[in-house]
Structure 1
Amino acid sequence: MSADAVASIALPPNAAAPSPANLKSISWSHTIAASFQPWISLTRVKFYSGAMLVFWPYAWSLTMTARTAQLPVDRFFYLLICGYIGAALSHSAGCVWNDILDRDFDRQVERTKKRPIASGKISVRAAVIFLWSHLAIMLWMVRDVNELAWRIALTTMFPLAGFYPLMKRITYWPQAWLGISMNAGVLMAWAFITGNIPTSAFVLMGGTWAWTIWYDTIYACQDKKDDVKAGVKSTALLFGNSIKLVLAFFASIMLSAIAIAGLLNHQALPFFSISVGAAALHLAAQLYKLDPNSPASCIAAFHQNGINLGGLIWAGFLVDYIWSEKHAQILDLGRQFFP
């Protein structure tokens, strides 16, 4: 906004006219804010549900691992914060890479045609540099992990996340590939803390994989008509009129896997009550309210998964972990007095 434009804004009767210096300051602030806007839009940072959907599987697994390994609470929360930063960077990098490869598709879809790369606000070259800056930070964050965790991190960052945008061109199951890359944090948490991956972690990852099919199919329902025109494939198109029935099937897989993982990890009552029981009620309510033909209904359900459901399931893991920590402290205290 120019100084003249700012000066033309009507002022209250008793207000003093802004000085030229103030006008220049306002002009610069608007210019700077406008220059950052396309980059903020590119990362989808405003829509934090996406980053949370990457974070929650890691948080669930980390909390399960912390319970088994009797990880100190302060160490646990430090790793939790690091995991959130990594999830946010991973989600942002994935959005940038997806928009680079899908720029021609995005121009054909009403919801995405104004995205920064598709609309020309950001060049492909600038986006690639921006992407590599994300990857550099993520690589730095995992520089000191053990070999198993390092291999998982590299596999997740490059082939798994890298190939996902291509999957929607060749298969109606791109969500299946996404489910692997989005949930590798389940294995990462165990590998980083214990140096191995138990059966319970693989079972839990199977549940989070089914969850990804659930929420990303719902998300893809927003663009069904445009995707057909653009030639983009998705499970939303594959499931057709049976979509709610198939979603119920994947919700059942998700809950069963979480419950079995809990049994294998010897979780206690708080876990099964909240992470399984309350989550089942939440999923049932979501499915009942969902209208697959309403974009507004679909995006609302997607955000419910990223914020409400993910947090609800983690609450069960967290209460169980704190419960076990307190129990362990009581036992240790007892051993001191009664060796």
Structure 2
Amino acid sequence: MTRPPSHAVSDDWSTYLKLMRLHKFPAGSILVFWPCAWGVTMSASITHMKPSQVATQLVLYFIGSTIRHNAACIWNDICDREFDREVERCKTRPLAAGTVSMTGAVTLLISQLALGIGLLLYAGPAATRMGLIGLVFLDMPYPLMKRWTSWPQAFLGLAMTWGLPVSWVSIVGQIDWDVIPILFLGSVSWSIYYDTIYACQDRRDDIKAGVKSTAVLFGDYVRPILSCFAMLFVASLAFAGLQNSQGPLYFMITVFGTAVHLAWQLVTIDFDVGSQCWKMFNANGDLGYIIWGGMLADYLHRSAAVMQ
């Protein structure tokens, strides 16, 4: 076991922002938010929800996604503080570096969980139950997965995408089995895609520390394997769009735009350069705007048609 550096515990509020990764906002948080936004916008298209209601839902889910990401980062650092001390990029994180006490981290975690659960209650009973299932069975076990399996990114994908069925149920009242499973599977594939890119930053250190990941598992075949996950995601967007009766704007912007953006990523990235992996990980947060943009354009077009 590696001892933490002999730094004094800091009362500086900035160390707690770093513990929640808010100093890198919106990276991470935005990726938690996108499946929620897709669920809200696509369900609004078939329920004819008013634009003002959609805007309110999106704001609330964005706040909730940020809080959830805050809590997840704190919990991850609590579980991984020993591993983090062995990884160059992570050894300066507050818990690994000893600048935040365990008591301070746990207190902050409890406060974020309380805020998140309190906000979740406004989603309705069914969506609240589903959200709590995700918290207990996905968010909490995730940091331990890298000890047990080479596919922690797949488990993360389930957690990151859980906002999709939660937001859908909060509006529609039930799961649409013709749409949600397809889009859910595709979103999990996308999460595996972008988090493998993220994990490529630490491949060499992870191998030394014994940390498992798809970045380590895929090795020299990371590009062709991620290409398959990218194609699965694009196909799921197209099929879910057909099942939900989305219009031409959805297919032109969301489906075609996603295909072009992912192709650009795979052609240009050097998986052995950490700075490029971080840049491309963030690019997937930007890709979410394209995916959502087609959904929003289609929803607004439908809404305008209904009002005429």
Pair in the same fold by TM > 0.5: yes
| Greater C-alpha radius of gyration | 1
Match runs of 1:57-206 below 5 Å: 57-199=35-177, 200-206=179-185
Residue 3 of structure 2: aligned partner: none
Where 2:121 maps in the other structure, the secondary structure is: coil
- The structural deviation recorded for 1:145 is 3.6
- The structural deviation recorded for 1:78 is 0.2
- The structural deviation recorded for 1:123 is 1.0
Where 1:49 maps in the other structure, the secondary structure is: coil
Where 1:118 maps in the other structure, the secondary structure is: helix
Where 1:41 maps in the other structure, the secondary structure is: helix
CA displacement, residues 106-150 of structure 1 (integer Å, 9 cap, x when unaligned):
000000001000011111121011001001011111224433212
Residue 27 of structure 1: aligned partner: none
Closer/same/farther in 2, CA of residues 315 and 144 from structure 1, 3 Å limit: closer
Where 1:71 maps in the other structure, the secondary structure is: coil
Distance 1:144 1:282 in 2: 35
Match runs of 1:182-331 below 5 Å: 182-199=160-177, 200-306=179-285, 308-330=286-308
Residue 14 of structure 1: aligned partner: none
Conservation of the 8 A alpha-carbon contact between 2:64 and 2:120: no
- The structural deviation recorded for 1:158 is 2.0
Distance 1:145 1:112 in 2: 35
1:44 aligns with 2:21: yes
Distance 2:203 2:233 in 1: 25
Where 1:143 maps in the other structure, the secondary structure is: helix
Distance 2:158 2:299 in 1: 26
CA displacement, residues 74-129 of structure 1 (integer Å, 9 cap, x when unaligned):
01000000000011001111000000000000000000001000011111121011
Distance 1:34 1:160 in 2: 31
**Aligned amino acid, residue 90 of structure 2:** T
Give structure 1 stretches of 5+ with no counterpart.
Answer: 1-32, 331-339
Where 1:142 maps in the other structure, the secondary structure is: helix
**Aligned amino acid, residue 129 of structure 2:** R
RMSD of aligned C-alpha atoms?
1.1
Where 2:23 maps in the other structure, the secondary structure is: coil
The percent of aligned pairs where both chains have the same amino acid is 41
CA displacement, residues 163-193 of structure 1 (integer Å, 9 cap, x when unaligned):
0000000000000100001111110111101
Distance 2:217 2:230 in 1: 17
- The structural deviation recorded for 1:224 is 0.4
CA displacement, residues 262-295 of structure 1 (integer Å, 9 cap, x when unaligned):
0000000000000000110010000001111110
Query: Taking CA–CA contacts closer than 8 Å with sequence separation of 6 or more, which of the two structures ends up with the larger relative contact order?
Result: 2
- The structural deviation recorded for 1:159 is 1.9
Distance 2:295 2:154 in 1: 25
**Aligned amino acid, residue 218 of structure 1:** I
Distance 2:79 2:124 in 1: 33
Give structure 2 stretches of 5+ with no counterpart.
Answer: 1-9
How many residue pairs match? The answer is: 297
Distance 1:236 1:208 in 2: 18
**Aligned amino acid, residue 139 of structure 2:** A
Distance 2:250 2:282 in 1: 23
Distance 2:140 2:81 in 1: 15
Where 2:270 maps in the other structure, the secondary structure is: coil
TM-score (norm 2): 0.95
Distance 1:143 1:288 in 2: 44
